[in-house]
Amino acid sequence: MDNFSISSLPIEQLYIELQSSADGLTAEQASKRNRERLKSDKPETRFRRELRILLRQFLNPLVLLLAIAVILAAILGESSDAFIILFILMITGLVGFWQEANAGRAFEKLRKMIENKHDVLREGREIQVTSQQIASGDILLLKAGDIIPADCRIVESNELHVNESTLTGESYPVEKMIGEVPDNASLTKKHNCLWQGTNVVSGTAKALVVQTGNQTYFGKMARSLAQTPETAFEKGIRRFGYFLLHITVILSLVILIANLYFKRPLFGSVLFSLSLAVGMAPELLPAIMTFVMSAGARRMMKKKVIVKKLSSIFNFGEVNILCTDKTGTITEGNIKVKGIVGINGKTNNQIQVYAWLNASLQNGFTNPIDEAISSLNFNLPGYDKINEVPYDFIRKRLSVAVEYNTRRFFITKGAFVNVLDVCSQFQSEDLQVKPLDDSIRQKIEQQFVFYSKQGYRTLGLAYKELIGNKVSRQDEQQMTFLGYILLEDPLKETTQSSIERLKQLQIKTKIITGDNQHVALNIAREIGIENQIILSGEEMNSLSPESLMVKVVEIDVFAEIEPQQKELIIKALQKSKFTVAYIGDGINDVAAINAADIGISTNNAVDIAKEAADFVLLDKDLGVIADGIDEGRKSFVNSMKYIFINTGATFGNMLGLAGASLLLPFLPMLPKQILLINLLTDVPFLTIASDNVDAQQLEKPGSWDIKMIRNFMIIFGLHSTIFDFLTFYVLYVHLKLTDIAFQTGWFWESTITQLLITFIIRTRKPLFKSEPGRLLLITSIISLAITILLPISPFAGMLGFVAGNSQQLLFLFIILVAFVVTAEITKIIFFRFGSNNRSIKQT
C-alpha cells in the first residue's frame, strides 16, 4: 500500500486491507509478515558486513597498485618475489580483518542490550516487542517518550502531541488526532498519521501500523537521515590520514623518478617505491581505531556503560564539563512521599485520596513521582476514571477526571506555580471553599518557600467539580487549591565522592534542574558545590546570547529551567570552547542530549532519550560516568600512541630508506623486506588497544591536535632518519657491506627500532617506569624474535637475508642502545616543552 494513501481510508477499511482488527494481529500473522518484510528489506547479513570489512583491508589504492605490480612481475618471471610479497599483503590484511570483525561483533552484542521495546496488542492482549518485531497490522499503544517505529494511522488519541522535527524540521510538537485526511495533503497536514522516527511528546494513543521497514516514509529517506556528523576525533583522523597519504605519494613518486633516472630496473624501482608507500601509509589505521573503540566499549560495559555510538568514545575522553539533573544521579531517585498537607500544614483524608487518585489513575507515562504517590496504602472501590489530560512540559500539570457515584470531579497536580496559576479558590482549614485573594495567595506561596528550603520537592494539588465526560486542558481553570505534596529524594551516598573524583579528572559538574531555586540551593550545599550562585530560567530569558556565554561558565547551578533552556546552556558552554557531556532520561532532556558533545541516558529512560544518547548507563550514578570518562581517555591515549608511532619511527625509517636508495648503487632493501617490516611491526601495533595507560595521562582531557602531531613527526622522524643514516654509514662505508648483507643489517635495525620506539612513545614516563600491556609485550617479543632469527632460518635465502658476523651485530647493538637513550631524552624534552603541557585542542 502506498505511504500516501493511509490517511484517507476509513479505519475499518484499513483493517480489512491489512487483514487486522481492533485486537491486533495473531502471533502467527505477525511472525509471517516479519519474515516477508525481512526478505524484501534485505538487511545486511553478518557475512556481507564482514566480507565488506575484509575487502576494505585490500582496497587501499597503494595496496592495489602494489598487488598489480607484483602480478606483472610474476608474469615476467619474478614469480618467487611476487608470491612472497602477495603472501605478506594477505597476512597483513587478514590480521586487520580479524581485529575489526571481532570489534564489530562485540559492538553488535552491546547494541542488542538496549533495543527499544514497544507495547502492542496481539490477539487483544498487551505485549512488548522490539522494533524489528513490529508488523503491518499491529496495534501500537503509545505514550509520552515513545519513538514511533512504523508509519501508522491513529485509531484513538488523547491530547497526543508528536515531535516530527526529524522529517519536517518543525521544532514545535504537532497535535495529532483521529480523522480522515485527503491523500494529496502535505505530510505536515496529515494529523491522523504517525511517521516512523518521530516521537510522542505528550498524550496517549492507539495506532494501526500500516508500513514498516524500508516502505516507511523515513525508510525511503534513510540514507540521507542516517548520516551523523563527524566527531572532532574522526575529523582529525581523516585529516591526518590525508596529510600522511599526500606525503607518502609525493615521496614515493620522487623515489621512483630518481631510480628511473639512475637507470635502475623498471619493475624493481616500481615495486620498491610502492612498497615504501605501503610501509609509510597508515593502512591499519581504520582497523586499529575500530579495535581501540571496541576494546573501550567492552571495558565500559564492565563498568555498566553501554556505548551506542562507537566513535563517541574519544569524545568521552575530551569532556571537561558534565551537566546533570539532580534526580537519580545526585539523588537516589527513589522518591518518597513525606507528606500531603493543606495550606495549614496539616493533612486530611480528602487531600490524600485526591493525590492518590490523580497518580494511580493516570497512564500518560511511568514516572517516579506518580509511582511514589500510588504506593500509598489506599483501597478505594467505586472511583472510576473518566478521562485525563496528560502531563506535558509546557503546562507542567497532570489532570484526571474521576467519577464517584453520580459526582464527577477533576483533579490536577503538578509544579506548584503552574497549579496555583489556574486556581481562583482555596480550601480552608474547615474544608470550606473560599475565594483566593492576594493575601491568601501570598501565604500559600510563603508556605511553599518554607517547604522548598527544607529540601522537599513540593507539588501543588487542586480540584474542581465537573459536568459532562469530555475534558481538555481548557478545563484547567477556576480550580480550588487543596494543598501541597511533599516529596523527598535523599542524596546518594556516593555523590560527594563521585563529584570529588570528577574534580580530580578536571571535570566541572553543573546541575541543571527544573526544580525551584530553594531546592536546588539546598542540594548544592549538601554536595559541597562551592559556587552557590543560581541562575533561574526566568533570569536566563533576560540575558543576551553573549551574556549567557559568560554566565554559564561562572555559574554551576541552574534552577527552574525549561527543556529548551537546557539546550541553550549546553550550546553556550560549547561556544565557550568546552566539551560538554549531558545526562538525562526524560523527554525534556532530549534536545540537550542531542546538543551535547556526549549525550548520556539510562536504561530505564524514555525511548527517545535512549535513542538520542551516545551512551546508556545501566546504573544511573555519577561514579559510573567518571569510570566512562576514564575509559574514554584510555581509548584516546592508546589511539594517539599508534599515531605517534606511525608518524615517528615508521616515517623516519621509510625516509631513511628513500634517501639511501638515491645514494647506493643497489636497493637498500628489497620490496618484500619492506613489507615484511610492515607485517612484523603491525602485529604489536594492533594490540595497542589493550595497553596500560599511565595515570598521569588520564588526569586531563585531551583532544586532537594535528599541529603537535606534525611537530612530533618532524622531530622523531628526523631522529629515526639520523640513526638510519648512521646505520647506512656503518654498514656500507665502515664494514663495506653490499647487497644482501647490507639489506639484512638494515632490516634488523629498521624493524627493531620500530619495535623499541613503541615502548618509548607509549609512556611519557621513563621507559622502565611504566608497565606495558601484557599482549603488547608478548607480540613485540615474538616479532623481535622472528626479526633476529629470520636471517639464520630456512627462509633466509627466499627473503634475501644472510647471517651477520659478530662485528656487524656489535655495531648494530651499539646503534640500538644509542637510539633508545636519545629517543628517551627527545621524548622527555618534547612532551615537557614541545606540547606546552596543555590541554590539547582541535585546530
In this structure, what are the phi and psi dihedrals at residue 526, rounded to the nearest 5 degrees? -65, -35
Please give the full DSSP string across 300-311, using - where no structure is assigned. Answer: HHHTTEEESSTT
Res 431: pLDDT: 86
Please give the grid coordinates belonging to residue 551: 554566565
Residues 519 and 422 reside in one and the same domain:
no
Identify whether the C-beta of residue 24 lies closer than 8 Å to the C-beta of residue 152: no
Q: Say if residue 76 is exposed, middle or buried (CB neighbours under 10 Å; 0-12, 13-18, 19+).
A: exposed
| Residue 422 belongs to a domain | yes
Higher pLDDT, 843 or 65: 65
Question: Across residues 483-507, what is the average pLDDT?
Answer: 87
Structural domain ending residue among the three candidates 568, 584, 618? 618
Q: Where are the beta strands (DSSP E) in 541-597?
A: 557-559, 580-583
Whole domain around residue 210: which residue ranges? 3-25+135-226
- Per-residue confidence (pLDDT) for residue 390, from 0 to 100: 86
| DSSP assignment of 758-794 | HHHHT-SS-GGGSPPPHHHHHHHHHHHHHHHHGGGST
User: Which value, in Å, is the radius of gyration of the alpha carbons in the chain?
Assistant: 34
For the segment 84-119, what is each residue's pLDDT rounded down to a tens digit? 667 766 776 676 677 566 656 655 665 565 567 889
CA distance 398 to 390: 5
Statement: residue 2 has pLDDT above 60: no
Query: What's the pLDDT score for residue 41?
Result: 60
pLDDT band at 226 (very low <50, low <70, confident <90, very high): very low
pLDDT of residue 253: 81
- What pLDDT shows up at residue 782? 94
Residue 837: the pLDDT is 43
- pLDDT of 238: 65
Q: Within this chain, do residues 481 and 578 fall inside the same structural domain, yes or no? A: no
The C-alpha atoms of residue 412 and residue 178 are separated, in whole angstroms, by: 26
Same domain, 578 and 709: no
* Rounded Cα distance, 593 and 344, in Å: 41
Average pLDDT, stretch 741-767? 89
Average pLDDT over residues 721-737: 89
Least-confidence region, from 149-158, 387-396, 801-810, 822-831: 387-396
Do residue 182 and residue 262 come from a single domain? no
- Verify that 776 and 812 share a domain, yes or no: yes
Model pLDDT, residue 270:
73
Say how many C-beta atoms besides its own lie within 10 A of residue 362's C-beta: 23
* Residues 665, 738 within the same domain: yes
By three-state DSSP, how is residue 386 classified? strand
CA 42 to CA 31: how far, in whole Å?
16
Residues 546, 651 share a domain: no
Alpha-carbon distance of 199 to 197, in angstroms, equals 7
For Cα atoms 628, 632, 638, give the angle at the middle one, nearest 5 degrees: 145
Same-domain status, 235 and 312: no
Residue 843 lies in a domain: no
* 810-825 core/surface letters (b: 16 or more CB in 10 A; e: else): ebbeebbeebbeebee
In this structure, are strands 479-488 and 423-427 parallel, antiparallel, or unpaired? parallel
- Percent with pLDDT over 70 in the chain: 85
- Answer yes or no: do 613 and 636 share one domain: no
Q: Which of 184-193, 212-221, 462-471, 767-776 has the lowest mean pLDDT?
A: 212-221
Whole-number pLDDT of residue 717: 83
Average pLDDT over residues 491-497: 83
Res. 271: pLDDT tops 80: no
Residues of the chain with pLDDT > 90: what percent?
A: 26
Q: Write down the residue that cell numbers 627500532 correspond to.
A: 753
Higher pLDDT, 219 or 120: 120
Average pLDDT over residues 560-586: 89
Which single residue is written with the C-alpha cell 620500530? Answer: 754
Residue 130 within any structural domain of the chain: no
Q: For residue 39, tell me if it sits in a domain.
A: no
Q: Which of 576, 591, 618 is the last residue of a domain?
A: 618
Residue 624 lies in a domain: no
pLDDT higher than 60, residue 359: yes
Residues 215 and 262 in one domain: no
- Among the three residues 470, 488, 506, which one is the final residue of a domain in this structure? 488
Q: The domain spanning residue 790 has which CATH number?
A: 1.20.1110.10
Residue 838 has pLDDT above 90, yes or no: no
Is residue 294 predicted with pLDDT exceeding 80?
no
The CATH number linked to 15 is 2.70.150.10
Which pLDDT score is estimated for 233? 61
How far is residue 796 from each of residues 81, 648, 667, 678, measured CA to CA in Å? 13, 29, 18, 17
Task: Assign 648 a pLDDT band (cuts: 50, 70, 90).
Answer: confident
Give the tens place of pLDDT for each residue, 47-58. Answer: 777 777 777 666
Domain assignment present for 36: no
| Residue 326: pLDDT over 80 | no
Q: How confident is the model at residue 638 (pLDDT cuts 50, 70, 90)?
A: confident
Q: Is residue 655 over pLDDT 80?
A: no
Is 325 among the catalytic positions? yes
* Average of per-residue pLDDT across 697-703: 79
Q: Is the per-residue pLDDT at 445 higher than 90?
A: yes
Mean pLDDT of the chain: 82
Same domain, 781 and 722: yes
Contact 92, 678 (CB under 8 A): yes
* Strand order across the 305-307 sheet: 305-307, 615-617, 598-602, 580-583, 321-324, 508-512, 557-559, 534-536
Write out pLDDT tens, residues 580-593: 999 988 777 888 88
The per-residue pLDDT for 821 is 94
> Which candidate in 325, 475, 589, 607 is catalytic?
325
Q: How far is CA 518 from the centre of its chain?
A: 34
Query: In the predicted model, what is the mean pLDDT of residues 116-125?
Result: 89
User: Per the structure block, which three cell numbers stand in for 302?
Assistant: 564492565
Find where cell 564492565 sits.
302
State the pLDDT confidence band at 258, using cuts at 50, 70 and 90.
confident
Q: Are the C-beta atoms of residues 413 and 398 closer than 8 Å to each other?
A: yes
Tell whether 507 and 482 lie within a shared domain.
Answer: no
Q: Residue 833 has what pLDDT?
A: 73
Q: Is the pLDDT of residue 715 over 70?
A: yes
Distance (Å, rounded) from C-alpha 601 to C-alpha 312?
A: 14
User: 421 or 840, which is more confident?
Assistant: 421
111 occurs within a structural domain: no
In a domain, 840, yes or no: no
Contact indicator for 802, 813 with CB cutoff of 8 Å: no
Q: How many domains does the chain have?
A: 4
Segment 542-565, tens digit of pLDDT: 999 899 999 999 999 999 888 889
Query: Lowest-confidence range among 205-219, 282-296, 789-803?
Result: 282-296
pLDDT at 840: 36
Q: Enter the C-alpha cell of residue 576.
A: 565557550
Task: Kindly list the distances between the CA atom of residue 469 and the CA atoms of 159, 409, 641, 840, in Å, as whole numbers in the listed order.
Answer: 15, 10, 69, 63
> What is the per-residue pLDDT for 839?
37
Q: Using the predicted structure, report yes or no on whether residue 67 has a pLDDT greater than 50.
A: yes
CA distance 306 to 316: 13
pLDDT confidence of residue 843:
31
Between 496 and 416, name the one with better pLDDT.
416
For residues 327 and 699, the model is more confident at 699
